[in-house]
Chain A
Amino acid sequence: MQNEEGTICNERIFNDFFKSNARLLRNYLYYKFGDLDQAEDLVQESFIKLWNNCSKVSTGKAKSYVYTVATNLGISITRHQKVKFKYQDYVKHVKSDVDNQSPEFLALEDEFKVKLDNALAKLSDRQREVFLLSRIDKKTYKEIAQLSDVSVKAVEKLMHKALLSLRESIGNI
């Protein structure tokens, strides 16, 4: 039914698809597995795999294909080495991105920030993924639900739990 022109095998379509999806996928993997470099490698590998199998993956399925491939690769790597979420990398980037900082963010006291960093590291993979996709990338619960192929309700529950456990580990302020 589809000719080569309309599929992901077309380099222009592949490039556009990469440009509109790669960053969020990288963030998703970073929040989930906790390692920025690893997340970028996983993005590379999953898109190379998509390219090599482009004739078998329809344009509509491509997004869930790269998410599934990258997540599975990530799981098999982290099964062997438990990676702690390295919030440090993130904080460094925040500092270099001064222009984007709002007064609220600058006003955040150091002590609370340190506590928040540690508390984020303690969240479960799924909780952190949902919390940060929502808070940083401003994704709706519906969008997050589609990324990992679960119901909106499940995402809301994870978000609720994430907030409860942040409360738990940060304690009184």
Chain B
Amino acid sequence: MIDLKKDETFLARWLNGELTEIDLKEFEKHPDYNFYVKLKQSTEHLPSLAYDVDTHLQRIHDNKERKETKDSKKVFRLFPVLAIAASILIIFGLFFYNPDTTISTGHGQMLTVDLPDGSQVMLNAMSQVVFNKRDWNAQRSLNLIGEAFFKVTNGNTFTVHTKHGDITVLGTQFNVNVEDSFFEVSCYEGKVKVKSATQEKILVKNQIFRSIKNTPQDFSSQLQEKPTWIDNTSSFSSVPLNTVIQELEDQYNIKINNSNLKLDILYTGTFPNDNLDVALRSVFSTLGMNYRLSENKKDVMIEK
């Protein structure tokens, strides 16, 4: 009798029709012979999965190009870094008059700032933080205009001052978005205390505080691991249209003529921060509006 435990390649050779007449005759007497024949027959004609070669090849060419433009964008973004380095130098020169450090981003820029204690602030476009380096360890507090994502290291209280209220934490990750009439704090980790003009609230992981025109909103949404704008996508969930428009203008340095728009309707959706055409289409087409982009790509007319 054939010992399948002893001959370690027997079945492989059988499947391939490499056995000698004698071995084959022997194998036919094996109690499992019928099973293997059935297994062989039933797997003989399994069709291979379809694969759309052309689509996948196209996707590779698209993606490798996007990667290249992304790289060039990275190079371009060195300019704000240089600008900031220069402004820090100037500020350093004025150290005795004004010890505050101001860091701001322009249209479509994004910037990560390392604070003296190792905490991190990631600034979205058209945003600004002001903090005092010298007193940092005694008092961890900064002023924010615009939108930023914070990763705070453990330590004493960390405070973000905004015109709509203060946010205090001990060590956590959270996002703050301050616009003229819109204020939103999202807690990604730990605990955050938000103190606005009208109320005080403690947020835990995955909770969001939002107020529109100083009126707190009852609002909840599922948060991802980090804000989407860090990956170059702006996303909105039931946000007033004027906030969305403001974000488009901040990201792309464009002016949107909004006289034909109802600015307080709520918008839910996303747009990319690195492709103006797609971004405009994403926002206005979903709202059923026609728009026209001027020749120099600076002005957008809404044509209702």
Contact = CB atoms under 8 A, between A and B. Distances in A.
B96 to A, nearest CB: 50
Given A48-B67, A97-B47, A164 B53 contact: no
Contacts of B57: 15, 18-19, 22
B7 to A, nearest CB: 8
Residue with the highest number of chain B CB atoms closer than 10 Å, among A40, A159, A163, A167: A163
Interface stretch (A57-65, A68-76, A100-108): A100-108
Contacts of A79: none
A28 B128 CA distance: 50
A36 interface: yes
Contacts of A44: 56, 59-60, 63
A112 B38 contact: yes
Contacts of B7: 160
Contacts of A161: 8
Interface in A22-69: 22-23, 26-27, 30, 36, 40, 43-44, 47-48, 51-52
Nearest to B41: A104
Interface of B is mostly: helix
Contacts of A101: 45, 47
B15 interface: yes
B231 interface: no
Contacts of A166: 39
Contacts, number: 115
B4 interface: yes
B50 interface: yes
Contacts of A155: 12
A163 B11 contact: yes
Interface string B32-53: 1001101101111111111101
A43 B47 CA distance: 21
B56 to A, nearest CB: 6
A140 B18 CA distance: 12
A53 to B, nearest CB: 11
A153 interface: yes
A104 B11 CA distance: 21
A47 B60 contact: yes
A108 B4 contact: no
Contacts of A134: 15
A43 B4 CA distance: 37
B46 to A, nearest CB: 5
B294 interface: no
B49 to A, nearest CB: 5
A105 B13 contact: no
Contact of A163 (B15, B45, B56): B15
B241 to A, nearest CB: 35
A93 B49 CA distance: 7
Contacts of B51: 22-23, 26-27
B53 A22 contact: yes
Nearest to A92: B49
Given A134-B15, A156-B12, A52 B42 contact: no
18 contacts: A23-B51, A26-B51, A27-B49, A27-B51, A40-B56, A44-B60, A100-B47, A102-B45, A112-B38, A112-B42, A116-B42, A135-B46, A140-B16, A153-B9, A164-B11, A166-B39, A170-B35, A170-B39
Given A52-B64, A156-B8, 14 more contacts: A18-B56, A19-B53, A23-B51, A23-B53, A36-B49, A44-B56, A90-B49, A102-B45, A116-B39, A136-B47, A160-B4, A166-B39, A170-B39, A173-B35
